Structure 1
Amino acid sequence: MLQSQYRWKIAEPYPAVRDELARELQISPLLASLLANRGIDTSESAHRFLHGRDESLYDPYLLLGMDRAIPRIRVALERNEHILIYGDYDADGVSSTALMIHLMRRLGASYDIYIPHRSNEGYGLHNHAMDWAHQQGVSLVITVDTGISAVEQIAYAAALGMDVIVTDHHEPPAVLPEAYALINPKIPGCPYPFKGLAGVGVALKLAQALLGEVPAHWFEIAAIGTVADLMPLHDENRVIVRRGIEAMRASAFPGIEALLQISGVDMAAVSSVNIAFALAPRINASGRLDHAGRAVALLTTEDADEADKLAHELDLLNKERQQVVNDIVGQAIEMLEDKISGSGLPPVIVIAGEGWNVGVVGIVASKLLERYYRPTIILGIDPETGNCKGSARSIPGLDIYEALTDCKELMDHFGGHPSAAGMSLHRDRLEQFEQRLHHFADARLLPEHFVPVAEVDAECRLGELNVNVAEQLELLQPFGMANPSPRLVLRKLRLREARKMGKEKTHLKLVMEQDGSMLDVVAFGRGELADFLQPGSLVDVLGELSINEWNGKRSLQLMLQDIQVTASQVFDFRGEADPVGLMERCTRIFHQDSADRAPVAAVVGPHSPFRKTSSLNDDRIWVYDKNTGILPENESADLAVKDTVRTLFLLDLPGTIEQFNALWTIFPKVENIVVMHSKNGYHGRLETPDREQFKRIYVLLRKLGTGPLDEKTILPALSRQCSISVRMMSRVLEVFEELGFVHREDGILSCVPNPPKKELTSSHRFHELNEAAEMERYLLDAGTPQLASWMMSRLEGVS
């Protein structure tokens, strides 16, 4: 049995709406169902969503503050005032700044830009930056993707004689800055009909208000920031990103073209997914490890050679960023495991480390959230000053911005969204900061909030899917927040093949079948699962449809996101060279939802070397026993609640069928049986009883006389004459003893002169020998399918 990583939450179907949309638009029922699930329930709105290319943008003057900002900018242009564009260092801030540079160039403005250094300065406006701007002769500051919380800094700028126009999209605080103009669709009372604009979206609206109509290729830059900042891709954002992608396929920007090339993206087929996973990480790498100005230069250069040089630099920075992230993740996990040893995971994870690059702590927080599924805050500590800068990532059950607001007096600065935020504070306040967050989360989070949920669009059968259906689903593009790539669940697929692929064998390729239809399933980075998926099994999968093109042939493919096997399974790892390592792998794969070793037990033989293996001390170890079947070997096993054991490791061969059967009595809820004993080195093999063989052995015994005979002497001799093991010969004598053919006592054997006439099959020992021989034949000689089938039949028979 293989548990799914997520709880699959399948959307409620709307059959009436689905059937109407499918009929009127001549689309597949699946696409119609997905549209209905996204709230698009009329043929008119569905046609506009799928095929609309002429959607208009909202009037920018609906944004509160726009009617005040535009006249001020026009005055600045007329008077040739020096304007400062103040941006941010993430991909949205970089895009916003680049867009404003293109706007300033087009307007012929006198301008400068300022983006704070992530590590040295941190997020937001800074007074020293205002001092610098004043020295440069700036009289008007326009912020992009920042400023809505900068009450003190904007007041300071005003005191220096500079007007500040804020364009931002972050959550506004209770007290707003007294800027010349505040433009943010989330400001209370703002009538703008769409609240989900990115920072670059708000900048685009400012450009639209100034120019009337913005150049089509500027949407490329707006699309990057919108997708990178995880803004909802519906309403106006859908228009912005769709126009941006269309322009990007024949990009007018040398920097974007160079970045697509270095990322290995086909320009003609660029999508929102490419923006999210190819462009955005490289743009972000600039601000994380260096200064965001390099990325701004890439998006604003008009020189192809410079663009190529900058794109290569960003690519190298991104590779360096990946290594830095991996190092910090490893350290953070080690610190967390030490911190929670014996106490369990807290409601909010807070980990801080000296010298950690604050430019990547957000990524680290995301990775720990993915691993532990808890709201996570990762902070880098400056060892000299003790100042901490961090990033938070949260789960749907906790608004992290609200949580930070609750303890705002402990921080020097904070800002963000319900799912992500940033903050700074001194290390002396870390403990109190963590306790306050725990208290806040404890009052709001319930146990179900800690179970990751995968939102599923539909459940269908394989026969409903084909290349044409997959092509229709592409009409839902661009995919992103609030308009995700469709997730489908298919149940009871028969697994025909499971193998690792890729140069390092880190990826997974499955071949599935249902009702005669075949499907290739691919999962990147999950090659290890191939060892735990058995051909012939019935499997449930969750994934996204795609079309694989190879040698001119187009075929349906599913990109796997989750998988489960609901039936119990037997895994054949006989002769495994590293049993302890395998146990760790299995525990990680089978029980990723468990915080302890509770679901796992291992069984060893009485003379097994594993009884002395220190690396198994924390595991529940049981040992085969000739009287009771199995006994607990250590304290962990002795205290175990046996009904909780779901995976059983058989490190050694059981000695008797009674010992084998005892496993299923002791562990009635076992789901996975991992067989790991050696197939070699068993010299005392039992054989299936043969009547003629028994007759021959009895004749040989009678020839030796009535006795008394020393068993230690005659057993090896009889073993050699009959070509069977000494152990087998001893079991034969047990049968003869039960039937009254011989008498045995204290190692002395005597033949009964006039034995009773009894059939071999009347002996209980004979049947035990038959079952034990069959057990050994399967456990040592059978192929994997035969072994699995036999073990499952025994398990079902005992239960």
Structure 2
Amino acid sequence: MLRSKTRWDWTEICSETWKELQKQLHISALTSKILQRRGYTSAGEAERFIHTDLSFMHDPFKLDGMTKAVERIKRAVENKEKILIFGDYDADGVSSTTIMIMLLKQLNADFGWYIPNRFTEGYGPNIPAFQTAKEEGASLVITVDTGIAAVTEIQAARDMGLDVIITDHHEPPPELPEAYCIINPKKPGCDYPFKELAGAGVALKVAHAVLGYFPEDMLDIFTIGTISDLVPLLDENRAMVKQGLKALASTQRPGLQALKQISGIDSDQIEEDHVGFSMGPRINAAGRMESADPAVHLLMSETIGEAKEWAAVIDALNKKRQQVVNEMTKEAVEEVESNYPPDENKVIVVGKEGWNPGVIGIAASRLAEKYYRPVIVLAIDKEKNEAKGSARSIEGFDMYKNLSKNRDLLPHFGGHPMAAGLTMKPDDMNELQRRLCEQAETEVDSDIFIPLTKIDVPVELHEVSISALEELRELAPFGVGNPKPVFMIRDTEIASSRKIGSDKNHLKLELTSEASTLDCIGFRLGHIYDNITEHAAAHVVGELSINEWNGFRKPQLFLKDMSVQHWQLFDKRKERQHLKEWLNQLPDEKTAVCIFQEETYKELEPSLSHKQVCSSFTPSHHTNDVPYVVLADMPVSLTDLQEQLSSFHCVERVYAFFKDRHELYFKPVPTREDFKWYYAFLRKRESFDVGKYGEELAKRKGWLTDSISFMTDVFFELDFVTMNNGVVTVNKSPEKKDLRESSHYQKHIEKSRTEQELLYSTYNDLKAGLTPYIHGADFKHDLKEKVGNGL
């Protein structure tokens, strides 16, 4: 048995529905199941989702405030007013800024752009920047990906005589700024049909409305911002990103060509992971480490030479960012382990002076992943008496909602249910943590703090094929709202397993079911190897892909989690010499050691530590619910073994060593004919000195000397002979008795049979023989409930 590490969240789907989709659309079972899981239950809905294109775009003028914004921008262009684009320093903000620059360049506007420095100015619009803009002659400010919470700053801009158009996508606070107009699909009263645009999406909508046509040439930039900002890739986001990935693949934009090259992307096909894990992080690195300006310069580069220079700058910043994040995460982990153990704190709030505020979000994400707790990481500035924080949450804990209840401690904050940014006083950190922990304790289900794996659908091994996986890619781009499908394969046999990698920290499995096989890779799951046995029936969960190597293509599964639903036999009979080493590895509190021979106990006693020991010659105080049972040596009989094993109630694993010092299996057991001949020999001789002549007799008959001793002991026990100093004398008139009346004979035969069944049987025969004695946890009975709620 192997328990999964996470809660498995899944529900069965209606087989009639997916089979009908499969039939009508001529698609694979994999694709039809995923479509149904994503809510597309009719052929028409499914067809539209698969073939989403730019015809799905919504009218930009449905965004409240758009008409007013377009009129003001056009008036500013006509009147040669100076316009300031005010952006944000993350990848979405950089992309939004770039889109607005491209728009205003196309309009031949008089404009400039500005992105605040994260370290000296902080997040969002600020009054000094507006004062500078006013002094330089600006009359109109357009914010992109920021501004929705800047009540004080926007009022100051108005007082200066600046008109401010806010374009943003973040959650609106209770009080909105009194800007010239606000374009935000989440704004109260806005009837725009799709609420999940990123900042780049809102900027693109403005460009569409101003130009009067959809600017497809901006989709490559839009795609970087949208994927990087982790907004749902549904509806028109899906349509635009799908087209934008194609645009990125064939882009002639020097900045993007240089960015792809330095990111190591030489594929003709750009996928969402290329953006999310390679291109986006490099754009983000500029604003995280210094200023976001180099990222904008890169995207706006007009020559490949200029672009390569800027690409080298942001790549160096990205490498520096990686180093800083690793160091900060290590320090944050030490802080958590020392002062905020996750078992006692359902929300983690940590901060330190000197931490880089540009990468605290990444550190927060790593801590949230490691501890599966909502996390806030803060960089403390003692001189300013200020702590800048980044929050990351887990499914079921709405970070924005919970922070909103603590506005008295948070002069500035904003974000989403899963992430937020905030500013506060360092002295209030402990109070914020206390309140959030109290909210987590009283207002949310405790189960949410158990790591969760969301499973889309169970599939059969035979349904996994190259053609099915190629077809599945039609459901891309994958991301928030349309995640990469996670599949569960039930009751598949582990045909083989091994550790791989230079540090042997990865796991490779071959799964089989009937005539189908599937390779399985578990990165950083090498530890599972010692907890599973080949031939075990397992449930596995992971993402399916196509592995291409050396010209061959085959399906594979990237393992996320797995479980084995029955007791497992770990056959260690060939490793009996390593028994002590294994005992030292097994956890004391989970392990009981069954010992049948006193010699074995004396030898193992130093290695038994605090493990429970079960034997007939030592006091046995073991509890009956220990999950791991070690069969250290050979029992005298199968009955002895049965009595020991049957005393345990919830056996998950049996480690069979069966160490023995007196093996009989390869020693022939004397037959009845052997006994008959030997007895006739003794009657004829009347007396025989076994000590002196036994070995010679054994050689003459082709027996072992032990056989002579054994038969002699049996005859003595049955009172057929007497013994004196090694001399055997036949009794003249013994009572007629059967050999089976000798306990010595019976024990010898039973030991031989026990050895044959336990020591020299095949793996399958041994497991079948032990199964009647095992009282395992009733995992099969409640499989549905266990898998659905975490094993």
TM over 0.5: yes
- Alpha-carbon distance in structure 2 between the residues aligned to 1:577 and 1:278: 50
Please give the alpha-carbon distance, in whole angstroms, between the structure 2 residues aligned to 1:281 and 1:290: 14
Determine helix, strand or coil for the equivalent of 2:265.
Answer: coil
- The structure 2 residue matched to 1:671, chosen from 652, 655, 662, is 652
Moved more, 178-187 or 258-267: 258-267
The answer to whether the Cα contact below 8 Å between 2:272 and 2:478 also exists between their aligned partners in 1 is: yes
The yes-or-no answer on 1:548 pairing with 2:524 is no
Aligned pair in 2 of structure 1 residues 54, 389: CA closer, same or farther (>3 Å)? closer
3-state SS of paired residue (2:35): helix
Q: Secondary structure at the match of 1:201?
A: helix
Q: Which residue of 2 aligns with 1:122?
A: 122
The equivalent of 2:9 in structure 1 is 9
Amino acid paired to 1:671 = E
TM-score norm. by structure 1 comes to 0.81
- Structure-2 residue corresponding to 1:538: 537
CA positional deviation for 1:132: 3.9
Change (3 A) 1:159 1:765: farther
Matches within 5 A, 1:232-311: 232-311=232-311
CA distance in 2 between counterparts of 1:67 and 1:766 reads: 103
For 1:65 and 1:581, how far apart are their aligned partners in 2? Answer: 72
User: SS at the partner of 1:282?
Assistant: helix
Q: Does 1:526 align with 2:525?
A: yes
Number of the residue aligned with 1:141: 141
CA contact (8 A) 1:250 1:267 kept: no
Distance 1:317 1:55 in 2: 39
1:238 Cα offset (Å): 0.9
How far is the alpha carbon of 1:598 from its aligned partner? 6.0
Which deviates more from structure 2 when the two are superposed, residues 186-195 or residues 522-531? 522-531
Distance 2:206 2:740 in 1: 95
After TM superposition, give the deviation of residue 299 of structure 1 in Å.
Answer: 1.9
Q: Give the letter aligned to residue 796 of structure 1.
A: P
For residues 267 and 545 of structure 2, the distance between their equivalents in structure 1, rounded to whole angstroms, comes to 18
Residue 483 of structure 2 aligns to a residue whose secondary structure is coil
Q: In structure 2, what is the Cα distance between the partners aligned to 1:119 and 1:557?
A: 45
Q: Secondary structure at the match of 1:486?
A: coil
Taking the aligned partners of 1:729 and 1:169, their CA distance within structure 2 comes to 94
Inter-CA distance 798–487: structure 2 relative to 1 (3 Å threshold): closer
Supply the distance in 1 between the matched residues of 2:102 and 2:86 (Cα, whole angstroms). Answer: 14
1:406 CA displacement: 0.7
Change (3 A) 1:202 1:626: same
Please give the alpha-carbon distance, in whole angstroms, between the structure 1 residues aligned to 2:331 and 2:634.
42
SS of the residue aligned with 1:238? helix
* 1:560/1:697 CA distance change after superposition, 3 Å: farther
Query: What pairs with 1:34-73 in structure 2 (closer than 5 Å)?
Result: 34-73=34-73
Number of aligned positions between the proteins: 759
The letter for the 2-side match of 1:60 is P
- Other structure's SS at 2:268 match: helix
Q: 1:319 to 1:566 in 2, by over 3 A?
A: farther
1:457 aligned residue: 456
Q: Taking CA–CA contacts closer than 8 Å with sequence separation of 6 or more, which of the two structures ends up with the larger relative contact order?
A: 2
The counterpart of 1:627, out of the listed 617, 621, 625, is 617
1:446 paired to 2:414: no
Separation (CA, whole Å) in 1 of partners of 2:578 and 2:80: 74
Tell me the equivalent position of 2:221: 221
Moved more, 344-353 or 140-149: 344-353
> Which residue type is aligned with residue 621 of structure 1?
K
| Cα pair distance change 1:456/1:798, threshold 3 Å | closer
**Offset from partner CA, 1:523-569 (integer Å, 9 cap, x none):** 33334434444332222222333233344443333333332221222
Corresponding residue number in structure 2 for 1:467: 466
| C-alpha distance 731-362 of structure 1, shift in aligned 2 (>3 A) | farther
**Cα deviations across residues 466-497 of structure 1 (Å, max 9, x unaligned)?**
22222222221111111122332222222223
Q: Is the 8 A contact 2:125 2:146 kept in 1?
A: yes
Q: CA deviation at 1:222?
A: 0.9
1:379 aligns with 2:360: no
Equivalent position amino acid for 1:5 in 2 = K
**Residues 315-365 of structure 1: per-residue CA shift (max 9 Å, x gap):** 444444344434444443444344466x93433233334433333332333
CA apart distance, 1:753: 9.8
Q: Which residue of 2 aligns with 1:790?
A: 766
Deviation at 1:504, TM superposition (A): 5.0
Please tell me whether the aligned partners of residues 688 and 774 of structure 1 are also in contact (alpha carbons under 8 angstroms).
Answer: no
Q: Is 1:570–2:569 an aligned residue pair? A: yes
**Contact 2:591–2:611 at 8 Å: present in 1 too?**
no
1:72 to 1:611, Cα distance in 2 relative to 1, 3 A:
farther
> 2:32 is aligned with what amino acid?
A
The residue that corresponds to 1:88 in the other structure is 88
Give the 3 Å change call, closer, same or farther, for CA 570–525 of structure 1 in structure 2: same
Residue in structure 1 matched with residue 700 of structure 2 by the alignment:
none
8 Å contact 1:497–1:511 — kept in the other structure? yes
Q: Distance in 1 between matches of 2:503 and 2:8?
A: 31
Backbone CA RMSD of aligned residues: 4.5
User: Rg: which structure is higher?
Assistant: 2
Q: Compute the displacement of 1:218 (Å).
A: 1.0
What is the CA distance between 1:225 and its match in structure 2? 1.4
Is it true that 1:646 corresponds to 2:627 in the alignment?
Answer: yes
Give 1:509-524 correspondences, 5 Å limit: 509-524=508-523
- 2:708 and 2:292 map into 1 onto residues whose CA distance is 81
Change in 2 beyond 3 A, CA 1:287/1:690: same
- Is 1:689–1:769's contact at 8 Å kept on the other side of the alignment? no
Offset at 1:611?
4.2
> Could you tell me how far apart the structure 2 residues matched to 1:166 and 1:730 are?
101
What is the aligned partner in structure 2 of residue 210 from structure 1?
Answer: 210
TM-score, normalising length from structure 2?
Answer: 0.82
Residues 594 and 615 in structure 2, CA contact (< 8 A), matched pair in contact too: no
8 A contact 1:543–1:562 mirrored in 2? yes
Who is 2:393 aligned against? 394
Paired residues of 1:7 and 1:451 also in contact (CA < 8 A):
yes
Secondary structure at the aligned position of 1:249 is classed as helix
